[in-house]
Structure 1
Amino acid sequence: MVTVVDVDAGPRTVARRVEVAAPAAEVFAILANPRQHHELDGSGSIRDDVPVLGPERLSVGDTFTVALQQSGIPYQATSTVTSFEDGRVIEWADSYGRKWRWELTDTPAGTTEVTVSMDDSCAVTPLFDQLFGDDDRYASAITKTLRKLAHRFALDADAIFPPRTLSPLCHARWHSPNLKAAG
C-alpha cells in the first residue's frame, strides 16, 4: 500500500510526500526529462501523442512545452525551469505562474522521499483558482502522481527482486539433479 502524506507548506502551497523504492538519481532522471512526464501524470491531462518541445534534459532557465487536455479541450503549456539541483530538486513555473517543485531525499534504506508542491502565490490567475477550488484538484492530481511514481518503482523492484518464500526454494533444492548426484 502506497501512503502519500500531506505536507504543510504554507497557505498558498499544496504539497504531498511519498517514499519510493528507488534511489533519488533514478527518480530525478525521469523528472529532468520532460518527455517522460506523461508517464507520471496523475491528472491525466498530459497528452503523449504530441511531441514535447524542449531539451532532453532540463536545467535552470530551460523551457519546455507539453500538450495537455482538460474537459476535452486540448491546449499547450510552456514551463520554465526556475530551480535545479541535480539529483535533488527541480522546479518549474507553468504558463500561469504556478511553481511546481519536486524535492528528492535519499534515505538510509536506499529509498527516496519525494515531495511535490504547487505554489500558486505568483499565479496570474489566483482568483480563478480560489473561486473554482483548484487547490483540491491539484492536491488530488499530486497524490495520484506520487502513487503512480511509487507503483512504477515498486513494480520495477518486484521484477528485479521477486518476492521469495522459503518452501518453493527448499523444494527446488531438494529435487535438484546436482544434489542427487552428489548424494
Structure 2
Amino acid sequence: MATYKVSRSVVIDAPAADIFDILAAPHQHPEFDGSATVREQIEGPQRLGPGERFGMQMRAGLPYRITNRVVEFQENRLLTWRHWGTHRWRWELEPVAGGTRVTETFDYSYAFSFLYQLAGWPARNARSIEQTLVRLKTLAEGRGRPHA
C-alpha cells in the first residue's frame, strides 16, 4: 500500500516540554487549530497520555462529534491520535538550535486514501497544518498563551 501523508514543520522558540503541554491538553486544541473545525473538548482528560480517549465538538459545514485515541506517546517528543476512520494526526518535537522543531503530519494512508485525494483533502490539510503551526508558535512563544 502506498503511504499518503501531509506534513509541515516549524521551529518554535520554546522548550519541547512547553509545546508538548499545549498539544497534550485537548481543551486547548481549538486555540491552535488552523482548520477552524475544532470547537471544544466534550470528554476526556485534561492532559493526554498513552491510550487516552478524548471527544471533541467539531464543525465542518455541519456540527459533529468525534472521539480520538492516543496511539503513540513519548513525553515531550511524540504524540499521535486517531479517530474511527483510522486517520492519524502526529506531532513530533525535536530540540534544535533556536528552540524546538515541531512537525505535524496528517496520515491518511490507512483508509479511503483514493477518496481523500479525489476530494482535494491533501491540499486542504496542508493549508490547515500551516495555519495550525503559526497559531501553535504564537501560543508557545508566549503571545496569548492560555493558562492551563
Instruction: Settle same-fold status: TM greater than 0.5.
Output: yes
* Residue in structure 2 matching 1:117, options 97, 105, 118: 105
The TM-score normalised by the length of structure 2 is 0.89
Equivalent of 2:32 in 40, 56, 60:
40
- Aligned position for 1:20: 12
**Equivalent of residue 60 in structure 1, options 43, 50, 57:** 50
Structure 1 residue aligned with 2:67: 78
Q: Which has the higher strand share?
A: 2
C-alpha displacement of 1:11: 4.6
Q: Is the 8 A contact 1:34 1:52 kept in 2?
A: no
RMSD of aligned alpha carbons: 1.7
The alignment of Structure 1 onto Structure 2 pairs a total of residues equal to 143
Letter paired with 1:18: V
What are structure 2's unaligned runs of at least 5 residues?
Answer: none
Q: Which has the higher contact order (CA 8 A, sep 6+)?
A: 2
Letter in 2 for 1:115: T
Q: Secondary structure at the match of 2:38?
A: coil
Contact 1:94–1:100, Cα closer than 8 Å, also in 2? no
> Residue 82 of structure 1: CA displacement?
0.5
TM-score in terms of structure 1 length: 0.73
3-state SS, counterpart of residue 52 of structure 1 = strand
What corresponds to 1:3 in structure 2? none
AA at the equivalent of 2:36: G
| Equivalent residue, structure 2, for 1:152 | 139
By how many angstroms is 1:60 displaced? Answer: 1.6
Deviation at 1:148, TM superposition (A): 0.9
Match of 2:29, as an amino acid?
A: H
Partner of 1:163: none
Tell me how far apart the structure 2 counterparts of residues 59 and 19 of structure 1 sit (CA, whole Å): 24
2:127 matched residue in structure 1 = 140
Larger helix fraction of residues: 1
Q: Distance in 1 between matches of 2:122 and 2:8?
A: 12
4+ aligned runs moved over 2 Å, structure 1: 125-128, 151-157
Unmatched runs of 5 consecutive residues or more in structure 1? 1-9, 158-183
Cα distance, 1:95 vs structure 2: 2.7
